[in-house]
Chain A
Amino acid sequence: DAKTTQPTSMDCAEGRAANLPCNHSTISGNEYVYWYRQIHSQGPQYIIHGLKNNETNEMASLIITEDRKSSTLILPHATLRDTAVYYCIVRGGNQSGGYALNFGKGTSLLVTP
């Protein structure tokens, strides 16, 4: 699976959009980009995933560049409850590791009042 690079930490003011970048320059054609977040002491929570088209759901939007080498997770109106560690994970459809996700260090997002 492709390696991802994320900033260690970011700040965002409450009510503003939080844009979390992720680089995955070695991504291959069949690999998806997944975003998860982990609020302190809780299990990771699924946010969104995509292959090459931009995606939106009730939680966030995922923008994937045309060359697929990077992506951005957008939380349109961040709240204090969005303070968490956000993980960008690239995962192919092959069954190696039982489709398990490889979590890196993630980005620690702090939403401030």
Chain B
Amino acid sequence: DAGITQSPRYKITETGRQVTLMCHQTWSHSYMFWYRQDLGHGLRLIYYSAAADITDKGEVPDGYVVSRSKTENFPLTLESATRSQTSVYFCATRQPGHGYTFGSGTRLTVV
């Protein structure tokens, strides 16, 4: 099916572990984004990518790493998870002239 897919849907991990959240699009949209959403803060931009091999920091990048070796994939890695990274993570793509499409989100709990 065409669209944007995030996996896993839910994840529980321990403090200090590395965890990777996956984002895959079936289009070839250039721009992709990672947001996190917490109560009281709304959606905040973590990282974005303008194209394969081009990434840049957003508002809250500390503790996260991204890569984009292929246009369709934009994984987000928490190198050493902390409890403050417990959140809902949304991936999105930008469709020129048609707005942005968001994935269903990954609910991450760090214990």
CA distance A66 to B88 in the complex (A): 38
> B100, A98: Cβ atoms under 8 Å?
no
Question: Quick check: is B75 within 8 A (CB to CB) of the other chain?
Answer: no
Question: Quick check: is A80 within 8 A (CB to CB) of the other chain?
Answer: no
Residues of B within 8 A of A112 (CB): none
Question: Quick check: is A101 within 8 A (CB to CB) of the other chain?
Answer: yes
Interface residues of B (CB under 8 A from A): 31, 33, 35, 42-43, 45, 48-50, 56, 58, 88, 90, 92, 94, 98-105
> A41, B45: Cβ atoms under 8 Å?
no
> B105, A42: Cβ atoms under 8 Å?
yes
Residues of B within 8 A of A45 (CB): 102
How many residues does chain A have at the interface if contact means C-beta atoms less than 8 Å apart?
Answer: 20
Interface of A is mostly: loop
Residues of B within 8 A of A106 (CB): 42
Task: Give A34's nearest chain B residue, CB to CB.
Answer: B99
CA distance A43 to B7 in the complex (A): 14
Known contacts A41-B105, A98-B56: does B100 contact A103 (CB below 8 Å)? no
> A103, B42: Cβ atoms under 8 Å?
yes
Question: Quick check: is A44 within 8 A (CB to CB) of the other chain?
Answer: yes
Known contacts A97-B58, A100-B48: does B104 contact A43 (CB below 8 Å)? yes
Interface residues of A (CB under 8 A from B): 34, 36, 41-46, 49, 95, 97-106
CA distance A100 to B50 in the complex (A): 10
> A100, B102: Cβ atoms under 8 Å?
no
15 contacts between A and B (CB under 8 A): A36-B100, A42-B104, A42-B105, A43-B90, A43-B105, A44-B43, A44-B92, A44-B100, A45-B102, A46-B98, A46-B101, A95-B50, A98-B49, A99-B31, A106-B42
> A97, B48: Cβ atoms under 8 Å?
yes
CA distance A54 to B96 in the complex (A): 20
